Amino acid sequence: MLLSGRLEASRENSRIQVFDRGGAFKREWRGAQDKGRVFGVAVDAAGGYYVGVRRADYDPATNGVLKLDRDWNTVAAIGFGTPGHPVFNAVHDLAVARDGTIYVAETRTRRVVKLRPAR
């Protein structure tokens, strides 16, 4: 879990970077390059990372949210054209509430999609 420091999503470089409180680089993740660009990142209470990903073409098959574990292994994918999943068009940012609810903001549709955690 990110206990201190700064977590940044870089859409131009399609990566996540972690810096300590003093600004020193700690680690980097570039695992979304096959899917698109990283547009947002959030951390849940258990230390899981949620990454908003999209390509410039707004194709629902290239828009979605990846869930990463503490070691940054992909453990789930939401969207990306998967039948039964939400359809995203322009993932831009996201947030995770204390109860695990994920909020995904889109620019093209001007909506926020609320994803409830599995029980």
- For the segment 16-41, the average pLDDT, to the nearest whole number, is 88
Contacts of 85 (CB under 8 A, 6+ apart): 64, 78, 79
pTM for the predicted model, two decimal places? 0.87
Rounded CA separation 102/94 (Å): 7
Instruction: Tell me whether residue 29 is in a domain.
Output: no
- pLDDT value at residue 1: 43
**Number of domains the chain contains:** 1
Task: Identify whether the C-beta of residue 85 lies closer than 8 Å to the C-beta of residue 79.
Answer: yes
Could you tell me the maximum CA-CA distance found in the chain, to the nearest angstrom?
44
Instruction: Tell me whether residue 11 is in a domain.
Output: no
pLDDT at residue 97 greater than cutoff 90: yes
Q: Which domain holds residue 108?
A: 34-115
